[in-house]
Amino acid sequence: MFGTLQNIVVIHAGLECGLFKDAYPHWDMVPFGPTICFPHSPDEKVKINTVEPFYQLLLRVLENIPNKD
């Protein structure tokens, strides 16, 4: 989608997915989003140039969710 290979890394994040997983253990989940520096602190910042690609990826994912009839 972006014309490059993406780096897949494991980081300490996705707290909200963990909360949903407790309530919905049958759901498949993958947390992803723009790059955030210093989260949950007064210095929290988002790298603006990472927001648009994330948004486009989110739209693509939503467009490709299969119907469950």
pLDDT over 90 (residue 68) = no
User: What is the C-alpha to C-alpha distance for residues 28 and 10, in angstroms, rounded to an integer?
Assistant: 17
In 3D space, the residue among 35, 40, 32 whose CA is nearest the CA of residue 61 turns out to be: 32
pLDDT in tens, 7-59: 777 777 767 777 888 889 998 888 888 888 998 899 999 999 999 999 999 99
Provide the pLDDT for residue 64.
93
* Mean pLDDT, range 62-68, rounded to an integer: 89
What is the pTM for the complete model shown?
Answer: 0.69
User: What is the C-alpha to C-alpha distance for residues 69 and 36, in angstroms, rounded to an integer?
Assistant: 37
Provide the pLDDT for residue 16.
76
